[in-house]
Structure 1
């Protein structure tokens, strides 16, 4: 299942040339991941408060394909690539219309309140499993 999240490019997102500053793509995909989890019914604030679990980006591989510009309406697409007991790997693409501008593979690690890796919360694993995703052992 591909999740889509719209993002408008504001002046503050651009550099002197009027194109999106490269680091801002990471902000856009972060928002896309947060909204993806929210749509799945995962409340990250409640997860942290109730169990101390949080997600941390473990790895990002990004490809800048084409520039986005001031006032562009972009769509961040987020889809699950791989799921393990303690990690989620997502493929994310930022598009303008149907044109891919930025593509990333993001690995999220689940951590406890002490910053140590732990298994994903059962509710999240169950939610992903119900959508047809099988966790690797």
Structure 2
């Protein structure tokens, strides 16, 4: 159950040498996470209006090879672990058959005042898919 998100490298994504600036990989995977949540049928605006938001708790990242101006990339996202209030995603940025970047992002659900909250049911059900208890 891997989500695929296309990315085109634009001039604004690169440094003076035409190579993707390292911090922009975090933007690419953030966009892919938002698209993944949307693909699950979760309206993040409605979720926020109901008092639940997501925050990045931790990201571990490896930069493996450079991407360059005008290249077509793909961010692949899949859930690795799910607990009642925490979600761990593995995300990779690929150019064709070459993995350029990989990250493990730990996200937490929280209230608008920063207190832990349970994941929405649409995300909690991923536990079943991963072979855990619902």
TM-score (norm 2): 0.94
Aligned equivalents of 1:57, 1:85: Cα separation in 2: 16
Residue 134 of structure 1 deviates from its aligned partner by: 4.8
Aligned pairs, how many?
134
Structure 2 residues without counterparts, runs of 5 or longer: none
The change in CA–CA distance for 1:110 and 1:6 in structure 2 (over 3 A counts) is: same
Indicate if the aligned counterparts of 1:84 and 1:136 stay in contact, CA closer than 8 A.
Answer: no
Indicate if the aligned counterparts of 2:9 and 2:72 stay in contact, CA closer than 8 A.
Answer: yes
Q: Does 1:15 align with 2:15?
A: yes
CA offset digits 1:20-44 (Å, max 9, x no partner): 0000000000011011111110111
Aligned equivalents of 2:80, 2:64: Cα separation in 1: 20
Indicate if the aligned counterparts of 1:109 and 1:117 stay in contact, CA closer than 8 A.
Answer: yes
Aligned equivalents of 2:64, 2:51: Cα separation in 1: 37
Residue 124 of structure 1 deviates from its aligned partner by: 2.8
CA offset digits 1:32-90 (Å, max 9, x no partner): 101111111011111111x2100000000000000000000000000000000100000
TM-score (norm 1): 0.92
Q: Does 1:105 align with 2:93?
A: no
Residue 118 of structure 1 deviates from its aligned partner by: 1.4
Aligned equivalents of 1:118, 1:93: Cα separation in 2: 27
Deviates further, 114-123 or 56-65: 114-123
Structure 1 residues without counterparts, runs of 5 or longer: none
CA RMSD of aligned residues (A): 1.5
SS at match of 1:45: helix
